[in-house]
């Protein structure tokens, strides 16, 4: 890979002496790759499933590949949370979530054994601790049957893949290493716990764009002609999500306290995109600034949505980048002062509409006044890609300590009918009501709570197919 000496005065050069580069374990291995293909094709992983299934069809023939996938799934399908939720215990009105969550944990343990690799006998022994002996033997038999054809296919391509892996590993051990160390420190983790990176070749015509983190393992799909730096940036981005989700209590408390104290109308929107914005500022900002020369980086950063393919996240990440750089240089964890400044800096990203519900409700509380409205609320949050939503029936007389009162800074959405929205809205914003706009009564409105966050009300009919959430909602009257 060509390098240039005309580097921007980025933070990594100043921090190399301060930050100890963590070890990076890059794995390009045939056996874990076949495991990945089988898990991907049968729904065990969030991956480029259509591309991987097409690839298995090329390797084995579509009919043989389908039979292999079916046999593999027959062993592991019951170790998915979806299978548990589809099949509640006899006589139960709804599935028991505790066994379902335990089942999901079992699937993760199975995959951890598979991707750790090692001698086949040792892999089977580890699987027999989780699965029944018959299930472990069945998986081994399917893998052994597929292995000869797969190994032959692999050997014909491995040299090119190794060259790509070397380029990516060079970046991970070089320019990316101080970024990984800085990210761990900023999220309040001990340094030196970088993930294992599994490189997965998916040499098909489709767009290979999947990279994700699962536990301590990073999975990065690639084609040999992919830009290795772009793959590393995505991997760092995904690793930041793991660091965010596992940050220590003091870090999380500082974040919530800053949000609760933020006076900016845009605070809910900035809070909702924070996870993605910080990951983008680090993976797509810090790393790319270290990798590119000044001219190329400036052109990259100036492009719309170059950090993230969402205008709000992209703008927030770029606004937060100088703050992130400062903490990276200092080797410090994000603290209350960091989050206070984050909310101030990101105001400009939401200046056009600080309370856009399609952004602000990304981390929020959704309440519905009737059970028949629950499906509308749940479907809408999924359709709009909201990251973290709490759902419940609006019933303050039964749940006096409902989360809507315990965490008043979080935005609240009320999904109600014409006949019952007023008591719920009155309970949060006394005196508020739906306004008249252009001579017609609106079916939605927003208002900030006294001393708290935004409240949105959506009046719907239970028979409606979907809950539409406009980008702009009028203020409530009263």
- 333-383 per-position pLDDT tens digit: 999 999 999 999 999 999 999 999 999 999 999 999 999 999 999 999 999
Q: What is the mean pLDDT of residues 252-271?
A: 95
| 469/335 Cα distance (integer angstroms) | 34
pLDDT given for residue 90 in this prediction: 46
What are the domain boundaries of the chain? 28-157, 249-350, 357-459
Beta strands in 206-307 (DSSP E): 211-214, 217-222
Q: Give CA separation, 189 vs 182, 250, 333, 445, 463, in Å.
A: 10, 11, 8, 41, 49
Q: 76, 128, 129, 124: which is closest to 103 by C-alpha?
A: 76
pLDDT given for residue 218 in this prediction: 83
- If you average pLDDT over each of 31-45, 130-144, 229-243, 278-292, which comes out highest? 278-292
Q: Do residues 168 and 26 touch, judged by C-beta distance below 8 A?
A: yes
Angle at CA of residue 88, ends 87 and 90, nearest 5° = 110
| 224/203 Cα distance (integer angstroms) | 8
Bigger pLDDT: 225 vs 60: 60
Residue 146 has pLDDT above 90, yes or no: yes
pLDDT given for residue 3 in this prediction: 28
pLDDT given for residue 97 in this prediction: 37
Q: Do residues 154 and 33 touch, judged by C-beta distance below 8 A?
A: yes
Under CATH, to which class is 357-459 assigned? alpha beta
| 372/195 Cα distance (integer angstroms) | 44
Q: Between the CA atoms of 124, 33, 282 and 365, what dihedral angle is there, to the nearest 10 degrees?
A: -70
Q: 134, 111, 113, 102: which is closest to 38 by C-alpha?
A: 111
Q: Which residues pair with 200 in a beta bridge?
A: 221
Q: What is the mean pLDDT of residues 449-454?
A: 88
Beta strands in 151-241 (DSSP E): 196-201, 211-214, 217-222
Q: What is the mean pLDDT of residues 181-208?
A: 82
pLDDT given for residue 80 in this prediction: 60
Kindly report, residue by residue over 15-66, the tens digit of the pLDDT.
Answer: 333 334 445 678 899 999 999 999 999 988 888 999 999 999 999 999 999 9
Residue 159 has pLDDT above 70, yes or no: yes
Q: What is the mean pLDDT of residues 125-149?
A: 91
Q: What is the mean pLDDT of residues 197-212?
A: 83
| 280/286 Cα distance (integer angstroms) | 9
Residue 99 has pLDDT above 80, yes or no: no
Q: Do residues 473 and 435 touch, judged by C-beta distance below 8 A?
A: no
Q: Which residues have C-beta within 8 Å of that of residue 220, sequence separation ≥ 6?
A: 168, 197, 198, 199, 200, 211, 231, 234, 235
278 confidence band (pLDDT: 50, 70, 90): very high
pLDDT given for residue 213 in this prediction: 79
The neighbour count for residue 358, using CB atoms within 10 Å, is 18
149 confidence band (pLDDT: 50, 70, 90): very high
Of 181-195, 275-289, 412-426, the poorest mean pLDDT is in: 181-195
Q: Do residues 381 and 366 touch, judged by C-beta distance below 8 A?
A: yes
Residue 169 has pLDDT above 50, yes or no: yes
Phi-psi region of 118 (alpha: psi -120 to 50; beta: other; left: phi over 0): left
Residue carrying structure tokens 């994700």 = 212
The mean pLDDT of the chain is 86
The neighbour count for residue 279, using CB atoms within 10 Å, is 26
Half-sphere exposure of 413 (CA within 13 A, CB side): 33
Q: Do residues 394 and 368 touch, judged by C-beta distance below 8 A?
A: yes
pLDDT given for residue 401 in this prediction: 58
Q: How far is CA 248 from the centre of its chain?
A: 18
Phi then psi dihedrals of residue 474, to 5 deg = -70, 160
Q: Do residues 327 and 339 touch, judged by C-beta distance below 8 A?
A: no
Kindly report, residue by residue over 308-346, the tens digit of the pLDDT.
Answer: 999 999 999 999 999 999 999 999 999 999 999 999 999
Q: Which residues pair with 455 in a beta bridge?
A: 412, 447
276 token code pair:
């993605």
Q: Do residues 54 and 204 touch, judged by C-beta distance below 8 A?
A: yes
Kindly report, residue by residue over 103-123, the tens digit of the pLDDT.
Answer: 556 777 888 888 887 888 888
pLDDT given for residue 19 in this prediction: 39
424 confidence band (pLDDT: 50, 70, 90): very high
Residue 414 has pLDDT above 70, yes or no: yes
H-assigned helices in 216-360: 228-245, 249-261, 267-272, 274-280, 287-291, 294-302, 311-330, 336-345, 357-360
pLDDT given for residue 194 in this prediction: 58
76 confidence band (pLDDT: 50, 70, 90): confident
Bigger pLDDT: 397 vs 334: 334
Q: 330, 328, 307: which is closest to 319 by C-alpha?
A: 307
């Amino acid at each position: 890979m060509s390098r240039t000496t005309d580097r921007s005065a980025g933070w990594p050069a100043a921090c190399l002496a301060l930050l100890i580069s963590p070890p990076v374990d890059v794995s390009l291995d045939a056996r874990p790759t076949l495991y990945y293909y089988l898990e991907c094709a049968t729904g065990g992983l969030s991956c480029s499933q259509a591309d991987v299934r097409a690839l298995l069809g090329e390797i084995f023939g579509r009919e043989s590949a389908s039979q292999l996938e079916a046999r593999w799934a027959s062993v592991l399908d019951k170790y998915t949370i979806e299978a548990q939720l589809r099949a509640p215990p006899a006589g139960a009105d709804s599935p028991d979530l505790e066994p379902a969550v335990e089942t999901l944990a079992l699937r993760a343990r199975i995959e951890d054994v598979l991707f750790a690799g090692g001698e086949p006998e040792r892999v089977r022994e580890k699987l027999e601790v989780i699965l029944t002996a018959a299930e472990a033997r069945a998986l081994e038999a399917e893998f052994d049957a597929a292995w000869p054809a797969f190994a032959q296919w692999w050997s014909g391509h491995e040299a090119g893949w190794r060259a790509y892996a070397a380029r990516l590993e060079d970046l991970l051990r070089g320019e990316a290493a101080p970024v990984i160390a800085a990210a761990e420190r900023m999220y309040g983790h001990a340094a030196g716990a970088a993930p294992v990176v599994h490189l997965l070749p998916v040499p098909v015509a489709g767009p290979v764009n999947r990279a994700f983190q699962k536990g301590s393992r990073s999975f990065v799909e690639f084609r040999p002609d992919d830009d290795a730096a772009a793959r590393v940036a995505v991997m760092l981005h995904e690793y930041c999500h793991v660091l965010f989700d596992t940050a220590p209590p003091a870090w999380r408390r500082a974040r919530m306290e800053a949000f609760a104290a933020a006076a900016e109308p845009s605070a809910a929107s900035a809070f909702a995109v924070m996870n993605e914005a910080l990951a983008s500022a680090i993976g797509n900002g810090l790393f790319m600034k270290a990798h590119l020369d000044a001219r190329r980086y400036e052109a990259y950063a100036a492009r719309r949505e170059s950090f993230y393919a969402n205008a709000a996240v992209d703008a927030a990440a770029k606004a937060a980048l100088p703050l992130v750089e400062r903490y990276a240089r200092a080797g410090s964890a994000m603290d209350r002062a960091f989050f206070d400044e984050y909310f101030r800096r990101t105001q400009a990203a939401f200046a056009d509409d600080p309370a856009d519900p399609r952004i602000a409700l990304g981390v929020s509380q959704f309440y519905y006044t009737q059970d028949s409205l629950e499906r509308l609320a749940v479907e809408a949050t999924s359709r709009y890609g909201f990251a973290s939503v709490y759902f419940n029936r609006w019933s303050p007389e039964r749940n006096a300590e409902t989360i809507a009162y315990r965490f008043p800074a979080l935005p609240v959405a009320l999904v109600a009918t014409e006949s019952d929205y007023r008591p719920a809205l009155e309970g949060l914003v006394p005196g508020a009501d739906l306004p008249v706009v252009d001579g017609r009564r609106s079916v939605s409105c927003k208002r900030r709570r006294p001393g708290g966050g935004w409240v949105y009300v959506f009046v719907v009919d239970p028979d409606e197919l979907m809950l539409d959430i406009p980008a702009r909602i009028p203020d409530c009257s009263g």
